[in-house]
């Protein structure tokens, strides 16, 4: 007999009291006005402002944030910078340019805010400087290959940035010439001698991302990493890939040792800020090291370490490099969580991090000497931490299933949060939220599985409701109490469904053993957990077990395809960007990477068990198949293969194809269409009115 085991108190029901703090939003603009709060709609989703990561003034008095608003008529977003006082008060808009301004970064002396934009005359995005005292923004870089991921040097007189350059060319004039030739060429062919060929939704060319520096007075940028023989990651060369020492003399960066592109091993290197030879600090680790972060006193360099080669969800340990002794110390070896989102305290005694922890992204304080973690926050999720120079002010983005990312000031001692940004308060005041809670049921191997359950607004336990069970992606991406613009459970609940996200085996945030438990047979434990979740709901008196559906994207689409070929209780399935055929997944953006548990010619039994297309002879469930042409993580052929197989077998199915979308549906009007299509499909099989 299965026995339900409750979660700790901090993960127990988050119900109407929380919903009451964030009252609800007006129905669709196209719908007639209705009295009182109404369920969340896709139209309201796209009216909400999206608040970016804060940049905190050195004195902690204000935070600069990028705020994106969407225009449905133009089908695009527009991003401007805003200044939000941390003591409370009205936010002030800093930029109003038609171009999108993003990634604000405050200078250490508090005089400038650097940001990224692509304005008139810019062929590529550039770095701009905005004087805090007042005045117009000025363009700092004029780099023909573009500039992004900026960081200030400690003297506030220079910035570092990243640009994609051809390493065989000398000087910016040669870079500009080749860029122009490529743009104007009548030849469309692309040529690769090694991966990466693509990443998510774009092709990767023969340039490499490198770090440069430039004076705030302008002039010619200076190469920092170009002469080292190593570059930043071609996949994700963001600002967290490098850091500048507190004296401005050294730059640390993460680079891949592998020259073939199929057996990656990222190490941490340091190089003089003026350029020169690079020194490897982590040559002893066969796994990946990344995210270098200097301590304010300059004594330590923190970074994250994974030790399992080829496993992207391996636990990330905090490592502290003693710069004087030249030694590395793993600080969190005893902690079964991954570190991330780290910021140092000004005295170098500790780091704060945003940690994926059992369904919630919690802030922890990690003692630098002992590596001991201490929780700071309890409920809801937090990210994008920033500390003032004196450590007296901490800000972050707070979010939950019923709160989009919102700027807050945090008390590190108590975890208490004070809301600072109010960009969405008026819209949120019109939304009728459904209560939600965290439950634990007995999953595969008789082990506990955490699950978020969302109830329709006005939920009545004396009635019976249809169920929509969501299948998350990854697979090693746990579902946390966070805002979801694409698969929004509260929106689905507003259609009259009980909606659930279960953190099946393989999900992050529940320890290393749980994350790695599904390998190499990724189909097995998640399938069992899904069936057991459906059985848990079938035992609830408020669920109509004859009206249940499941759906998901990416790995969630894969899991839907696995369900298709096996016994299951679902009346219909939705498979978005589904990995349907493990063999043709070699066409993905990471397809050339070596498989940790063996290739199909080495261990064919793994592939035959796990690839959903082998179950096609049992397909008989109506299925909505969705895919985007620009998806290079799960190429579009998977969607067509699945749909054509269903049609060949005479199974009711529908293919929805977006020629201008990638792995996700990101354009406002396509998103509205996606939600409407899913609603209509579910209603047809579960009996609700669309």
- Residue-wise DSSP of 319-358: EEEETTTTEEEES-TT--S---S-EE-TTSSEEEEEEEET
Task: Count other C-beta atoms under 10 Å from residue 428's C-beta.
Answer: 23
Task: Convert 362-401 to b/e letters by CB count within 10 Å (16 or more is b).
Answer: bbbbbebeebebeebbebbbbbbbbbbeebebbbbbbbbb
Work out the angle at residue 29's Cα, subtended by the Cα atoms of residues 94 and 494, and round it to the nearest 5 degrees. Answer: 105
With respect to residue 363, please indicate whether it lies within any of the assigned structural domains.
yes
Of 521, 543, 506, the residue nearest 611 (C-alpha): 521
- Angle, nearest 10°, between helix axes 524-538 and 555-564? 80
Share of the chain above pLDDT 70, in %: 95
What is d(CA 533, CA 535) in angstroms, rounded to the nearest whole number?
Answer: 5
Give yes or no for a contact between 445 and 2, defined as CB atoms under 8 angstroms apart. no
| Token pair recorded at residue 267 | 């190490």
Of 1, 76, 6, 152, the residue nearest 671 (C-alpha): 76
User: How much is the average pLDDT of 220-232?
Assistant: 97
> What kind and span of H or E run contains 489?
helix 489-494
User: Which DSSP letter does residue 529 get?
Assistant: H
Q: How many domains does the chain have?
A: 2
Give the model's pLDDT for residue 478: 97
Do 470 and 372 fall within a single domain? Answer: no
Check pLDDT > 60 for residue 22. Answer: no
Confidence of residue 182 (pLDDT cuts 50, 70, 90): very high
Check pLDDT > 90 for residue 82. Answer: yes
| Token pair recorded at residue 315 | 């636990």
Enumerate the β-bridge partners of residue 302. Answer: 293, 320
Most distant CA pair in the chain, distance: 74
Check pLDDT > 80 for residue 26. Answer: no
User: How much is the average pLDDT of 70-89?
Assistant: 97
Check pLDDT > 90 for residue 201. Answer: yes
With respect to residue 47, please indicate whether it lies within any of the assigned structural domains.
no
Do 242 and 318 fall within a single domain? Answer: yes
Give the model's pLDDT for residue 688: 66
Give yes or no for a contact between 345 and 351, defined as CB atoms under 8 angstroms apart. yes
| Token pair recorded at residue 389 | 């120079």
User: Which DSSP letter does residue 277 get?
Assistant: -
Instruction: Please spell the DSSP secondary structure of 417-429, one letter per residue.
Output: EEE---TTHHHHT
Do 606 and 676 fall within a single domain? Answer: yes
Of 640, 669, 672, the residue nearest 657 (C-alpha): 640
Share of the chain above pLDDT 90, in %: 93
Do 347 and 442 fall within a single domain? Answer: no
Give the position of tokens 């009205």.
90
Give the model's pLDDT for residue 389: 95
| Token pair recorded at residue 68 | 């994106």
Do 135 and 265 fall within a single domain? Answer: yes
Contacts of 479 (CB under 8 A, 6+ apart): 359, 452, 470, 472, 501, 502, 503, 507
Over the stretch 312-361, which tens digit does the pLDDT of each residue have? 999 999 999 999 999 999 999 999 999 999 999 999 999 999 999 999 99
With respect to residue 415, please indicate whether it lies within any of the assigned structural domains.
no
Give the model's pLDDT for residue 260: 85
With respect to residue 422, please indicate whether it lies within any of the assigned structural domains.
no
With respect to residue 428, please indicate whether it lies within any of the assigned structural domains.
no
What is d(CA 502, CA 41) in angstroms, rounded to the nearest whole number?
Answer: 23
The distance in angstroms from the start CA to the end CA of the chain is: 38
With respect to residue 416, please indicate whether it lies within any of the assigned structural domains.
no
Check pLDDT > 60 for residue 20. Answer: no
Q: Where are the alpha helices (DSSP H) in 11-62?
A: 16-21, 42-47
Q: Which long-range contacts (CB under 8 A, 24 or more apart) does 25-33 make?
A: 25/427, 25/428, 25/429, 25/430, 25/431, 26/427, 26/430, 27/430
Give the position of tokens 């040559």.
283
Contacts of 500 (CB under 8 A, 6+ apart): 451, 452, 453, 454, 467, 468, 469, 470, 489, 533, 537
Instruction: Please spell the DSSP secondary structure of 637-673, one letter per residue.
Output: HHHHHHHHHHHHTT--EEEEEETT--SS--SHHHHHH
Give the model's pLDDT for residue 6: 35
Confidence of residue 84 (pLDDT cuts 50, 70, 90): very high
Question: CA quadruple 107, 111, 116, 122: dihedral positive or negative?
Answer: negative
Check pLDDT > 60 for residue 34. Answer: no
Check pLDDT > 80 for residue 288. Answer: yes
- Measured in whole angstroms, the distance separating CA 586 from the mean position of its chain's CA atoms is 23
Residue ranges of E strands in 200-259: 202-203, 208-215, 218-223, 242-244, 250-256
Give yes or no for a contact between 549 and 682, defined as CB atoms under 8 angstroms apart. yes
With respect to residue 147, please indicate whether it lies within any of the assigned structural domains.
yes
| Token pair recorded at residue 301 | 């360099």
| Token pair recorded at residue 469 | 């069970």
What is d(CA 398, CA 365) in angstroms, rounded to the nearest whole number?
Answer: 17
42-56, 255-269, 336-350, 418-432: range with lowest mean pLDDT: 255-269
Check pLDDT > 90 for residue 677. Answer: yes
Q: Is 445 exposed, middle or buried (0-12, 13-18, 19+ CB in 10 A)?
A: exposed
Residue ranges of E strands in 1-75: 50-51, 55-56, 62-71
What is d(CA 390, CA 393) in angstroms, rounded to the nearest whole number?
Answer: 8
Do 339 and 460 fall within a single domain? Answer: no
Output the average pLDDT for the chain: 94
Total residue length of the chain: 690
Contacts of 366 (CB under 8 A, 6+ apart): 318, 331, 332, 339, 350, 351, 352, 353, 372, 373, 374
What is d(CA 255, CA 138) in angstroms, rounded to the nearest whole number?
Answer: 32
Contacts of 477 (CB under 8 A, 6+ apart): 507, 508
Give the model's pLDDT for residue 414: 94
Task: Give the domain CATH number at 302.
Answer: 2.120.10.30
Give the model's pLDDT for residue 19: 35
Do 376 and 512 fall within a single domain? Answer: no
Task: Give the domain CATH number at 508.
Answer: 3.40.50.1820
Check pLDDT > 90 for residue 136. Answer: yes
Enumerate the β-bridge partners of residue 595. Answer: none
Do 169 and 234 fall within a single domain? Answer: yes
1-5, 16-20, 117-121, 320-324: range with lowest mean pLDDT: 1-5
Do 368 and 454 fall within a single domain? Answer: no
Contacts of 517 (CB under 8 A, 6+ apart): 445, 505, 506, 525
Of 246, 177, 234, the residue nearest 210 (C-alpha): 234
User: Which DSSP letter does residue 584 get?
Assistant: G
What is d(CA 382, CA 418) in angstroms, rounded to the nearest whole number?
Answer: 13
User: How much is the average pLDDT of 229-247?
Assistant: 96
Check pLDDT > 60 for residue 21. Answer: no
Structural domain boundaries enclosing 449? 9-15+434-686
Do 345 and 461 fall within a single domain? Answer: no
Do 543 and 450 fall within a single domain? Answer: yes
- 3 state SS of 451: strand
Do 385 and 440 fall within a single domain? Answer: no
With respect to residue 3, please indicate whether it lies within any of the assigned structural domains.
no
Give the model's pLDDT for residue 687: 82
């Amino acid at each position: 007999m299965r026995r339900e085991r409750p979660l700790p108190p901090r993960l127990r029901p988050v119900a109407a009291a929380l919903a009451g703090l964030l009252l609800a939003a007006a129905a669709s603009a196209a719908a007639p006005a209705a009295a009182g709060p109404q369920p969340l709609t896709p139209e309201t989703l796209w009216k909400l402002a999206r608040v970016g990561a804060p940049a905190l003034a050195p004195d902690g008095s204000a935070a600069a944030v990028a705020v994106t608003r969407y225009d449905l008529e133009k089908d695009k977003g527009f991003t401007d910078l805003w200044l939000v006082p941390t003591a409370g008060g009205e936010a002030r808009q800093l930029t109003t340019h038609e171009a999108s301004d993003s990634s604000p970064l405050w200078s250490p002396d508090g005089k400038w805010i650097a940001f990224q934009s692509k304005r008139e005359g810019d062929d590529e995005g550039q770095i701009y400087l905005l004087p805090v005292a007042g005045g117009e923004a000025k363009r700092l870089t004029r780099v023909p290959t573009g500039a992004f991921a900026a960081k200030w040097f400690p003297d506030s007189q220079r910035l570092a940035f990243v640009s994609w350059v051809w390493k065989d060319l000398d000087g910016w004039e040669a870079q500009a010439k080749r860029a122009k030739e490529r743009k104007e060429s009548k030849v469309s062919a692309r040529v690769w001698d090694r991966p990466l060929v693509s990443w998510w939704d774009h092709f990767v060319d023969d340039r490499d991302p490198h770090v440069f520096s430039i004076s705030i007075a302008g002039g010619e940028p200076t190469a920092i990493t170009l002469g080292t023989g190593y570059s930043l990651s071609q996949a994700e060369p963001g600002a967290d890939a490098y850091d500048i020492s507190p004296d401005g003399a050294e730059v640390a960066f993460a680079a891949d040792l592998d020259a073939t592109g199929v057996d990656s091993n990222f190490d941490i290197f340091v190089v003089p800020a003026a350029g020169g030879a690079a020194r490897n600090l982590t040559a002893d680790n066969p796994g990946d090291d990344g995210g270098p972060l200097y301590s304010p006193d300059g004594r330590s360099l923190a970074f994250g370490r994974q030790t399992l080669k080829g496993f992207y969800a391996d636990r990330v340990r905090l490592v502290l490099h003693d710069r004087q002794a030249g030694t590395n110390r793993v600080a969190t070896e005893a902690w079964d969580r991954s570190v991330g989102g780290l910021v140092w305290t000004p005295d170098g005694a500790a780091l704060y991090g945003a940690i994926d922890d059992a369904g919630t992204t919690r802030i922890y304080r990690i003692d630098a000497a002992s590596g001991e973690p201490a929780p700071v926050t309890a409920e809801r999720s937090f990210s994008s931490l920033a500390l003032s120079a004196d450590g007296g002010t901490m800000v972050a983005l707070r979010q939950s299933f019923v709160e989009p990312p919102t700027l807050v000031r945090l008390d590190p001692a108590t975890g208490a949060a004070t809301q600072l940004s109010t960009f969405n308060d008026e819209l949120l005041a019109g939304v009728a939220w459904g209560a939600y809670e965290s439950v634990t049921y007995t999953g595969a191997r008789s082990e506990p599985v955490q699950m978020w359950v969302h109830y329709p607004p006005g939920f009545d336990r004396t009635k019976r409701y249809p169920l929509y069970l969501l299948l998350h992606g990854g697979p090693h991406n746990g579902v946390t109490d966070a805002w979801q613009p694409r698969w929004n459970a509260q929106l689905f609940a507003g259609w009259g469904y009980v909606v659930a996200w279960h953190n099946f085996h393989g999900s992050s945030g529940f320890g290393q053993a749980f994350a790695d438990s599904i390998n190499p047979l990724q189909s097995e434990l998640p399938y069992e957990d899904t069936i057991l979740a459906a059985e848990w709901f079938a035992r609830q008196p408020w669920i109509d077990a004859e009206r249940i559906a499941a759906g998901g994207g990416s790995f969630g689409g894969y899991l839907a395809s696995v369900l298709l070929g096996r016994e299951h209780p679902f009346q219909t399935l939705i498979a978005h960007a589904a990995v349907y055929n493990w063999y043709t997944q070699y066409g993905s953006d990471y397809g050339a990477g070596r498989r940790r548990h063996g290739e199909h010619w080495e261990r064919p039994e793994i592939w035959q068990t796990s690839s959903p297309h082998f179950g096609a002879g049992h397909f008989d469930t109506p299925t909505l198949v969705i895919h985007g042409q620009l998806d290079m993580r799960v190429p579009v052929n998977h969607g067509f293969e699945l749909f054509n197989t269903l049609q060949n077998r005479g199974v009711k199915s529908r293919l929805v194809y977006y020629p201008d979308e990638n792995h996700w549906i990101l354009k406002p009007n396509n998103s509205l269409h996606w939600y409407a299509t899913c609603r209509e499909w579910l209603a047809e099989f579960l009996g609700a009115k669309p």
